[in-house]
Chains A and B, each alone.
Chain A
Amino acid sequence: MVSRAAWLYIGLVVSVAAVLVAAFAKRSMILAQHSAHPAHYPQPLITLIALQALFLVCDSGKAPLTARQTKWSPSSSATLAAVVLLGPVAAAFVGAAAVLSAQRPLRLAERLFNGAMYAISGLAAGEAYLACNGIVGLPRTGHFKAILLAFAAAATVHVIANHGMIWGVNRLNRASGAWRREGLESSLTLLLASDLGYASLGMVIASLWEIMSWFAAVLVLVPLFIARWAMGQFTEQQRAYAATMNAFCQAVETKDYYTRGHGDRVSRGAVMIARQIRMSADRTEAIRFAGMLHDVGKLGVPTQVLQKTGPLSEDEFAAIQLHPMRGLEIVREIGFLFEALNGIMHHHERIDGRGYPMGLAGHEIPEFARIIAVADAFDSMTTTRSYREAKSIEFALSELRSGAGTQFDPVVVEAFIAAIEQEQWQLPEPAGEPADLTTVTVKDHDDPTAPLRVVEP
């Protein structure tokens, strides 16, 4: 949805672009005519069209570079090559080609905004280039020292102008805050760094232009498209990984009917807390997996004990207390962040030191474990168990609050409550009657009809 303020903003950007290009066009034409070496210019029209085509190809082939919003945009290399080869106005025209982008079905307003935005960025970069004594035209050997510095300035201006305007439209156009929380902040540095990297390709294209003209662009695109292909493979693998993990956790949970979906919900809760306390993206991802797998060690606990309805004997309780260690045993060799392992092992510790398996207290307990403990307790209170009905969210939150400082970390509890207030918590469907698990009759190994028998040495 485009808000009214955003519409005004888009209109403003488009008209500013039009005015600027019109105003600068005159001056820059003159600049070209008075140049000392007209032979050092590429053929303007062909070059312009080739660069516009390069821009469109790059723009249409965006791929996510990180898990979420950040897009991969080498199109700036075309604009910056135009800055060097043809000057600011041509750069603006190359940028304006974004109007024709085939990226995805875009609305007219979006197209206009993109075109205007890239035009202004190109113009600004071109002016910065000239201001730093950059030389417009086919780069000559002796010029490179001067050109490199000016080019760096142009690239910086381009990146800043570009992101500034995008930030503006996003700022005005946010109905829900969801995107902002998940998106830019964590990966802003990566985004800026990669954009500057792509910008340097503009320099490469410009320097090869004298030899092979438009073919320079094709040559530069080859490694980029292979990088994009590899990124696509990466994303695919990542998705497959998450899906496999999910399926696995579900399989583990079939053992205990009442805890179905528990790992998934704890993982969701842990991620909500992690975002609330502004954990880095890598650690958030790690805690997602840790939450999902925190109870995997329960597989080592006999089914009868897990599903028992009455009070537990001491031995049975000891068997249950072992499950964090069992979980660690299973996941230890996964190349996880070390913290995730800590989270799985210590998620039943208590702040007052009366938890298990190690009896750690206070801040001796790893942060991941403190977070998972809260999400875990909340989910077990709000779902039906074999021995009781589900409690309400309000009740569970007040229980967490009263346990803060003794059982739970108060900071984590507050973060969780704040996150629940902002994002809502979706309760699972109430559990019905447990279906019978499959039982298998085991063949006696002395049975003579068995097709194979163990041959004792």
Chain B
Amino acid sequence: MTGGTIVRRSPPDRVAYWQALDSGRILLMAAATMLLIAAFAGVVALHPHVNWRAALAFGGFIAVGELLRLALPGGREAAPIAMVGAMAYAMSLALPRQGHVRYDALLVIAVCAVAMSVGALPHIAAGRPAGLTGMCTRLVAVSCVAFIFRPIVSKDFVKEPWWVVFAVIALVYCFGWLTETLIGALIRADDVGARFSVAVRDEMRLQWPLGLAVGASVIIAIFGTKVMGIRELAVFIGPLLVTQIAFRRYAGIRATYLQTVRSLARVTEVAGYVEAGHSRRVSRLAIAIGRGLGLAEPELLALEYAALMHDIGQLSLRDPIPGGATLLVSPADQERIAELGAEIIREAGVLDDVADLVRWQSRPARGQDPAPPLGSMIIKAANAFDDMVGSSTDRNRSAAALDRMRRDPVEYDAGVVAVLAEVAGRRVPSRL
């Protein structure tokens, strides 16, 4: 099913490029620009000895890697093969018959920048985003590694036992990976409005398998070129290619899954059970609240699924509720709808946490034993808010709705309502 997947962005998510710039991005781009200027100035001024064959081989590798970028869950993008090429170039030790290689860190940065830009050209030509943020992140990470590692390389260092060299490379790579991950988390926290600490944890959890695979491939490539020479570099791409294919399929099916749940959640709208756009608005609100409360990404995903499907229990009703607002039926019936919805989801056998969130969505926040899960309280608040306000953008109306909810701390959790007030004021489209 992955073959035909088309990932479409809905129109409101598309903003002009300058509008997407925020402080983190500006900082990153400034850093990358400064590095670039320093690198090119350094290369021109210092006139270092350039091993053109090595530069071309690694540069080509990086360009191919940029071409074969990989979409990861959550709208992230990675370029593992480019990263292998760049890191291996930054930490290259020796080439056969030439002894240890000496070149400046600035040269590494210049070559990487040029190669990345070349690899991005086809993306631009095909009308895809250039991925400037990702490229800047990678460039900064590679620069850190190059500045640390290039001065270490000497005739003596290359002659150390292989495991000493191995340990140094592994350490420096870890540092580079951490840099990349932290920058990624910073940008992401800015993008989606998550807390930085949560974003760092999310990023680490998601990136470590790929980071490990890239690290192993970097070491293979460094030692491999030392034995086999630069021309056989392409052979070392094998293990990573397998990894990349596997990750691509994984990300593909996850995207399809989410799209499917999003679309199918609309059956209640088409069937006239709820107002058009209700599920989607509730899920957006719920995610924004969840982010504000510092939920991690897996919990947010369950919350999104539950919010999208929260009204699915109404399919078991003979006739639609007028306007579909579950707010207007008796608490006992609300509970029955929630129960029926949870049963439907539980039927799938794989989304039990989602089913639980749906089951407790109509319970009051206080005075319950056990207390309903946080996700359920979030859905309850988001649903009530949307039932009262709908697609209207009238501030008075939403203020009145919030006021009602604040005055009912037994039904609605005060913390959730506080964050809801904050995000409802922003009303920015947020995506996962």
Contacts and interface: CB of A to CB of B under 8 A. Distances in A.
Contact of A148 (B163, B219, B232, B387): B232
B153 interface: no
A211 B271 contact: no
A254 B4 contact: no
Contacts of A454: 387-388
Contacts of B215: 222
A286 B345 contact: no
A441 B325 CA distance: 13
Interface string A221-245: 0111011111101100111110111
Interface residues of A, number: 79
Given A139-B227, A197-B238, A208-B224, A254 B257 contact: no
B6 A208 contact: no
B22 interface: no
B50 interface: no
Nearest to A445: B328
B317 A440 contact: yes
B110 interface: no
A200 interface: yes
Interface in B206-254: 209-210, 212-213, 215-217, 219-220, 223-224, 226-229, 231-232, 235-236, 238-243, 245-247, 249-250, 253-254
A219 B162 CA distance: 14
Interface residues of B, number: 93
Interface stretch (B144-152, B394-402, B422-430): B394-402
Interface stretch (A261-269, A326-334, A346-354): A326-334
A441 B242 contact: no
The B interface, classified by DSSP as helix, strand, loop or mixed, is helix
Contact of B243 (A230, A245, A330, A452): A230
B108 to A, nearest CB: 23
Interface string B339-382: 01000110111110000000000000000000000000000000
A303 B411 CA distance: 34
Nearest to A293: B264
B275 to A, nearest CB: 12
A237 B257 contact: yes
A418 to B, nearest CB: 27
Given A299-B267, A438-B318, A451-B411, A335 B238 contact: no
Interface stretch (B58-66, B135-143, B330-338): B330-338
A439 B319 contact: yes
A247 B246 contact: no
Given A212-B166, A212-B223, A330-B264, A455 B400 contact: yes
Given A204-B224, A300-B271, A442-B322, A224 B242 contact: yes
Contacts of A316: none
B431 interface: no
A427 to B, nearest CB: 23
Interface in A293-314: 296-297, 299-300, 303
Interface string B38-59: 0000000000000000000000
Nearest to A138: B227
Contacts of B272: 300
Nearest to A280: B3
A457 interface: yes
Interface centre among B7, B226, B242, B257 (most CB of A within 10 A): B242
Contact of A450 (B97, B246, B328, B388): B328
Contact of B351 (A244, A297, A333, A338): A244
Contacts of A246: 347-348
Given A208-B223, A210-B227, A330 B4 contact: no
Interface in B394-427: 394, 396-397, 400-401, 404, 408, 411
Given A332-B263, A455-B401, A141 B350 contact: no
A207 to B, nearest CB: 5
B1 A286 contact: yes
A238 B253 contact: yes
21 contacts: A204-B220, A211-B162, A220-B239, A223-B239, A231-B246, A237-B250, A240-B257, A240-B348, A243-B348, A252-B267, A333-B8, A334-B263, A335-B5, A336-B1, A438-B316, A438-B317, A439-B318, A441-B329, A452-B408, A457-B392, A457-B394
B327 A326 contact: no
A373 to B, nearest CB: 22
A333 B263 contact: yes
The A interface, classified by DSSP as helix, strand, loop or mixed, is helix
**Nearest 5 A-B pairs (CB), nearest first?**
A222-B216, A247-B348, A230-B246, A337-B4, A299-B271
Contact of A204 (B239, B340, B387): B239
B345 A226 contact: no
B133 interface: no
Given A234-B246, A234-B249, A250 B347 contact: yes
B224 A222 contact: no
B384 A223 contact: no
A454 to B, nearest CB: 6
Contacts of A207: 224, 227-228, 232
A251 to B, nearest CB: 4
Given A220-B239, A334-B259, A297 B264 contact: no
B350 A441 contact: no
A311 B354 CA distance: 42
B295 interface: no
A239 B350 contact: yes
Contacts of B209: 226, 229-230
A244 B271 CA distance: 20
Contact of B256 (A248, A334, A437): A334
Contacts of A237: 250, 253-254, 257
B185 interface: no
B229 A141 contact: yes
Nearest to B273: A299
B266 A197 contact: no
A227 B80 CA distance: 13
A452 B224 contact: no
B122 interface: no
Nearest to A437: B318
Given A437-B316, A442-B329, A200 B238 contact: yes
Contact of B220 (A144, A208, A285): A208
A252 B309 CA distance: 13
B100 interface: no
B212 A243 contact: no
B317 A439 contact: yes
Nearest to A141: B96
Contacts of B6: 335
A445 to B, nearest CB: 6
Interface string A182-205: 000000000000100110110110
